[in-house]
Structure 1
Amino acid sequence: MASAFGSALRREVRFLATSFWDLALVSWVPLLLMAVVAIQLSAGVMRDLPIAVVDQDDSAVSRELTRRLEAAPGLRVAARPGDMREAERLVRSNRAYAVVLIPADSERAVLRGATASVTTFYNASYSTASGAALREVGNVVQGYAATLAATQAAAVLGPGRVRRPPIAVQSAVLFNPQGSYELQLVALIHPALLHLVFMVAIAGGLGRELRDGTIGAWIGGEPPLRAAAAVAGKLAPYLAIFTGWGLLAIGYVAGLRGWPVAGSAAMLLAGYVAMYLAYVGVTLLVVGLTLTMGKALSVAGLYAGASFAFAGAIFPIESASGFARLWSALLPYSAFAKLLAEQWIMGAPAAQSLWQVLAMLAFLLVGGGIGLPRYLAAARRPECWGRR
């Protein structure tokens, strides 16, 4: 079995060395994808989000509010259109994410002691950026409102009669107080990209033997245990290469960018390996059931490509439909995303994340237990060879 494993490993390494695109799939393609994500999210937090202010009041109050909006670090008053029609054109052309409408007679309402209504319209098509802009606008308006309320009370009652509110709410973001999108997203998107490319690479590697009809000469005459060891040897280079990419992903965020691993780095690396092994099991199942390279690659792209959306790391899965919750449970990446949050951000005990590792290894046992025997049997059935 050891000789079968080593022979298959060397055979696959030789193939990768002579195939430009297969080598690219495990070398510079993952690096390029990871670099693009890292560069796009390197700022960490969103700054200078463009908004438009429609000032129908043109008063001291409205001008001060506009000045405060411009001074907010997350906002930039990109335009001050004269009416809402012009402001709508700015939003439709993606020159502003939100429009702040200060209606006429706002200052008069404030001086009378009434409440002036400032309306914010935002573009929900870009929910992340628009939501951040909406929160910033809300904070600025509430802060200015509190200042105006204190000023008016001091003018009527005298400065000595004005006191702070007896109760104030103070909120804190757990585990990511900076609100960094780099920590939250780069650490999640890198493994999402890596497991997708990994599954496509090994599906191509296993399916290629069937498509080219080389599976018979490779393992067709081998006993089952030696044939299984040869399959493991064929997949070993991919597992080693992508484990290295996982180490690079951890090193970039934790070392170069300075976001330390709050929990166990060893458990985090074990999670990467367990995730890859889980997708080995899923790929063996897919290839064993389809016995065609084209179908296996199609299923791999669909299955692994949907992982990020259904993992529950960004979009909550608890209130989703039953199908969405079931689909999330059938994705190894969902368990990895939980392990990532527990070990990298939350600093949970390593033993708590062991359940996620076991859940991912279950995919290897079930998928490999069903798919591997069918794949080995196809090595003795020439009618299964040559399919596209």
Structure 2
Amino acid sequence: MALAAVRRNLQRFAQAFNTETRLAVRSWTIHWLGWLWPLLLFTLISGIYQAGTLLDMPVAVVDADHSSLSRRVVRELDAGSHAQVEVLGGGLQEGLQRLRRAADYALLYIPRDFEADALAGRQPKAELYYNSLFYSAGYYSTQDFGGLVSALNQDLRPRLAAGMGQPLPSLASISVAYESLFNASGNYIYYQQFAAIVHLLQLFVIVATVHVLAREAPELRASSPHILRAKALGVRLLGKLAPYTLMFSTLLMVELFLLVTLNGAKINGSVLWMLAITLCYVAAAQSLGLILFIFTANRFSAYSLIGLLIGVAQTYSGVLLPDLAMPEIARLIAIAEPLTHTLHGLFDQFLRQAPAESGLYACAKLLLYPLVAYLIAKQRLRRRLDLSPA
């Protein structure tokens, strides 16, 4: 008896799966959402992040001293990897205007008597401003300046001591051993590009899910087989959504393959666990689309809310703001977002060669979303299809 019930459910799943697969193959909307538009965006993002790290960002310099020391500062700052220096002749106001127009990422102002004050031990200040609206790009344009100032101080100390006729005080001999951890935020290929393609996948999955479910509404049912009208709603719903789960999971793995092949990234962990997390992530995103469809009056209302949902996911997933810097209410929002758990699990495998327990933990959390969505759909989905327009 139980075996016969299992066999019937497998047949219902296969019937829904095959029917939906045939519809998807013939639908240009699905082709656009499923691979054409995502791969086009992936190509665009890869072009933006092609350098991997931020190099040669425009930095303006206003040199009011025109001394050998100020010219050395300008020359060595330009020789660094992050800044591409342009000396302005119009003074500080021109530099500030260029900074406001986003023509430059940062502005270095060297005051008058910079060299004279430095040699007299009066500690002059060369001020470096950067445009924080560029986020990490503005900040990274200033990265070479700190080391440059330290090197100048190291060179000037013996000259100042000789001018005062006093020997340099002996410094404590301190042995420092350190090892730099991988700074993912400084490498766009490993962090921001990877997070961007994972985040954008959620957008296409939710839009496609709402579109597919809307075809079951009464006014659209004539042009689409009403898969969800027969018995065993849960099994048929799984069969209806399963082709898209496989399609979007394959899409993300292809993008990761291109990321490794074309951009030189390296996967440190298990590809199989990354695939498992991806499958669970797509299923969780489909669950959000299902819930969004159920609790909106029509598909256009659902579409209008997707942007808000995706924006919240990006803001509170740890990509833009570190988890530890969030207030408690923001952390609760982050916990409610599948993107947060997905990025944690995928980064563990992509960057840190985490053990299998990490992947299993991420999959377990992501599978809670389909479970909750199934319980809601079982009670309200057919009522939503019967009483509400598409």
Please say whether Structure 1 and Structure 2 have the same fold, judged by a TM-score greater than 0.5.
yes
Alignment correspondent of 1:191:
198
Using the TM superposition, give the Cα deviation of residue 21 of structure 1 relative to its aligned residue in structure 2, in angstroms: 2.5
Match of 1:174 among 155, 171, 181: 181
Alignment correspondent of 1:92:
100
Is 1:236 matched up with 2:242? yes
Using the TM superposition, give the Cα deviation of residue 155 of structure 1 relative to its aligned residue in structure 2, in angstroms: 6.6
Match of 1:67 among 56, 63, 75: 75
Alignment correspondent of 1:207:
214
Could you report, residue by residue, the CA deviation over 1:23-62 in whole angstroms, capped at 9, with x for unpaired residues? 2111201111111111110101111111111111111111
SS at match of 1:66: helix
Using the TM superposition, give the Cα deviation of residue 323 of structure 1 relative to its aligned residue in structure 2, in angstroms: 3.0
SS at match of 1:260: coil
Could you report, residue by residue, the CA deviation over 1:80-135 in whole angstroms, capped at 9, with x for unpaired residues? 23421111122122221111111111111122123121111221221211111122
Using the TM superposition, give the Cα deviation of residue 255 of structure 1 relative to its aligned residue in structure 2, in angstroms: 3.5
Match of 1:289 among 279, 292, 295: 295
| Superposed counterparts of 1:1-388, under 5 Å | 1-153=9-161, 166-167=173-174, 172-176=179-183, 179-210=186-217, 212-214=219-221, 218-219=226-227, 222-223=230-231, 225=232, 227-290=233-296, 292-378=298-384, 381=386, 383-384=387-388, 387-388=389-390
SS at match of 2:324: coil
SS at match of 2:238: helix
Cα distance in 2 between the residues matched to 1:298 and 1:369 = 25
Alignment gaps of 5+ in structure 2? 1-8
Pairwise CA RMSD of aligned residues?
Answer: 2.6
Cα distance in 2 between the residues matched to 1:321 and 1:264 = 33
Moved more, 55-64 or 254-263: 254-263
Q: TM-score, normalised by structure 2?
A: 0.89
Distance 1:95 1:169, change over 3 A: farther
Cα distance in 1 between the residues matched to 2:263 and 2:375 = 41
Distance 1:110 1:167, change over 3 A: farther
Distance 1:220 1:361, change over 3 A: closer
Residue identity in the other structure for 1:128: S
SS at match of 2:108: strand
In the alignment, is the contact (CA less than 8 A) between 1:101 and 1:119 conserved in 2? yes
Distance 1:329 1:164, change over 3 A: same
SS at match of 1:113: coil
Could you report, residue by residue, the CA deviation over 1:220-260 in whole angstroms, capped at 9, with x for unpaired residues? 6522x2x3222212111111111111211221223433322
Residue identity in the other structure for 2:102: N
SS at match of 1:339: helix
Could you report, residue by residue, the CA deviation over 1:305-358 in whole angstroms, capped at 9, with x for unpaired residues? 431221013411323233322221111000011112211112221213322211
Distance 1:172 1:12, change over 3 A: same
* Count of paired positions: 381
Cα distance in 2 between the residues matched to 1:110 and 1:162 = 19
SS at match of 1:297: helix
In the alignment, is the contact (CA less than 8 A) between 1:270 and 1:357 conserved in 2? yes
In the alignment, is the contact (CA less than 8 A) between 1:50 and 1:98 conserved in 2? yes
Residue identity in the other structure for 1:47: L
SS at match of 1:27: helix
Cα distance in 1 between the residues matched to 2:225 and 2:243 = 21
Residue identity in the other structure for 1:193: L
Distance 1:270 1:78, change over 3 A: same
Distance 1:163 1:178, change over 3 A: farther
Could you report, residue by residue, the CA deviation over 1:274-294 in whole angstroms, capped at 9, with x for unpaired residues? 111112222222222336222
Q: TM-score, normalised by structure 1?
A: 0.89
Distance 1:212 1:8, change over 3 A: farther
SS at match of 2:295: helix
Residue identity in the other structure for 2:270: S
